[in-house]
């Protein structure tokens, strides 16, 4: 069982019994990191659609959450699958649009860097370096071996560092 997860397990069990306010509390708690992650992957507009879809799936599958992983991990896994499905079916989802939520120069710079990474490099880097996920959690999410995940993060970071240093920061 994941640590510090008791409240989410209790809320999810209530949601599985059809308790809408309990699910609303889960959404309030997890929408911020989930939408931030999806915004980095897909841009703000698509991110909100994906987040809605992921939460609806989480509501319908609430009885399948067993508490072995953190609720945020379980939810992000659902959202990641939604993203992969969207990429398969809609070519417009491929290129992340310019996000509106992070309209600062540094944010624009990091968005530009992320846009040059592959989808899995972007996801791995955002989760591990930005959201504090462990490498094991990110490896499980992306369904890759731990070693592959570590090298994906290192490669993504090296690419970003090269771009950052190339922009006269180094």
The answer to the question of residue 74 lying near another protein (CB under 8 A) is no
CB closer to another protein, 15 vs 139: 15
Q: Which stretch binds another protein (CB under 8 A): 6-14, 87-95, 105-113, 134-142?
A: 105-113
Nearest CB to another protein, comparing residues 51 and 69: 51
48 forms part of the interface with another protein (CB under 8 A) = yes
Interhelix angle 135-142/146-166, rounded to 10 degrees, is 100
Q: Are 122 and 114 in contact (CB under 8 A)?
A: yes
CA 55/CA 38 separation, integer angstroms: 13
Please list the alpha-helical segments (H only) found in the chain: 6-16, 20-42, 44-60, 71-89, 105-115, 119-125, 135-142, 146-166
Q: Is 119 in the site for another protein (CB under 8 A)?
A: no
Rule CB under 8 A: is residue 49 a binding residue for another protein? no
Residue with tokens 């609303």: 24
Q: Which residues bind another protein (CB under 8 A)?
A: 20, 23-24, 27-29, 31-33, 35-37, 40, 48, 51-52, 55-56, 59, 101-102, 106-107, 109-110, 125-126, 129-131, 157, 160-161, 164-165, 169-170
């Amino acid at each position: 069982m994941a640590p510090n997860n008791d409240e989410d397990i209790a809320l999810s069990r209530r949601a599985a019994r059809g308790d809408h306010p309990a699910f609303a509390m889960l959404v309030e708690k997890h929408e911020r990191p989930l939408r931030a992650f999806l915004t980095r992957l897909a841009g703000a507009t698509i991110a909100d659609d994906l987040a809605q879809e992921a939460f609806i799936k989480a509501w319908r599958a609430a009885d399948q959450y067993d508490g072995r992983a953190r609720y945020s991990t379980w939810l992000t896994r659902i959202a990641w699958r939604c993203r992969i499905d969207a990429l398969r079916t809609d070519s417009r989802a491929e290129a992340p649009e310019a996000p509106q939520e992070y309209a600062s120069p540094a944010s624009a710079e990091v968005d530009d860097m992320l846009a040059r990474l592959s989808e899995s490099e972007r996801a791995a880097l955002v989760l591990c370096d930005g959201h504090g996920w462990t490498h094991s959690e990110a490896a499980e999410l992306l369904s890759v071996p731990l070693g592959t995940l570590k090298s994906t993060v290192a490669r993504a970071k090296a690419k970003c560092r090269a771009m950052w240093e190339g922009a006269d920061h180094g």
